Amino acid sequence: MNSEIYLLTPSDLLSADKNVEQFKASYIQALDGGGISCVLLSGTADNTEVLKKAVEILQPITQERDIAFLIEDDYQNAKAFGCDGVHLNDAGNYKDAREHLGTDYIVGVDCGISRHDAILVGEAGADYVAFNNRRPLPEIEDPDVREFEEGGPKGLELLTWWQTMMTPPCVSMDDIPIEAIKSHADAGADFIAIQTAIWNHTDNPTTAITEVNEAIA
């Protein structure tokens, strides 16, 4: 199976001084590139009203294309605002998020480079596990867990290891340039998260998404 696109909105979009309505045209251009399976409204909003407005503007045009629309961490508002689910940055919040959302919503977890966290949430029923080489390992008190983590695969090898060991889909959350996408797909990423390369493309978001699709074809 080919990898699929997991699109992140710009990291500063939820700042109070950003105009999401102005961003809408670029966002539609990206969606029109095709091949996007999931969108994450990236970042933490300055306040709930900022988050709500961004969801109200972007979510309908995402879901009408049968693309899942997630927000980060705030699983209460993910449900209240009619999102498709939540992306958690702390594996320790998985149980509470799942209990609140139930099984009808997507609950994915960014585990950084922690195989231990990934196994725990994967076995607990996470809809996907994300590996993010931009995040260091957390402090680990248990010596056995520390040895397991520090002695494990890193980088692209994490994706390959997961595919040989576990069933839930994995996401490469490294926000890589387009020219590196094929290597992540070949390593076993079910989904490849991409952000900067789309919104900072020298042409336009449609062209950028088209190039991503060509890379993972």
Domain CATH number, residue 14? 3.20.20.70
For 15-73, the pLDDT digits (tens) are: 999 999 999 999 999 999 999 999 999 999 989 999 999 999 999 999 999 999 999 99
Contact 81, 102 (CB under 8 A): no
Classify residue 161: in a domain, yes or no: no
Classify residue 153: in a domain, yes or no: no
DSSP output for 11-67: TTTTSTT--HHHHHHHHHHHHHT--EEEEEE-S--SSHHHHHHHHHHHHHHHHTTT-
Classify residue 149: in a domain, yes or no: no
Helix 20-32 vs helix 48-63: crossing angle, to nearest 10: 30
Q: How many residues does the chain have?
A: 217
* Structural domains in the chain (count): 1
Give the C-alpha separation, 55 to 45, whole Å: 11
Contact 129, 109 (CB under 8 A): yes
Query: What pLDDT score was predicted for residue 151?
Result: 87
Classify residue 55: in a domain, yes or no: yes
Is pLDDT at 4 greater than 80 in this prediction? yes
CA neighbor of 39 nearest in space, from 175, 211, 199, 193: 193
Classify residue 151: in a domain, yes or no: no
For 138-194, the pLDDT digits (tens) are: 788 889 998 998 888 989 999 999 999 999 999 999 999 999 999 999 999 999 999
Classify residue 139: in a domain, yes or no: no
- Give me the residues paired with residue 128 across strands: 108
Classify residue 15: in a domain, yes or no: yes
Torsions phi, psi for 104 (to 5 deg): -85, -10
Classify residue 158: in a domain, yes or no: no
CA atoms within 13 A on the CB side of 209: 22
- Global pTM reads 0.95
Tell me the residue range of the domain where 212 lies: 4-108+171-216
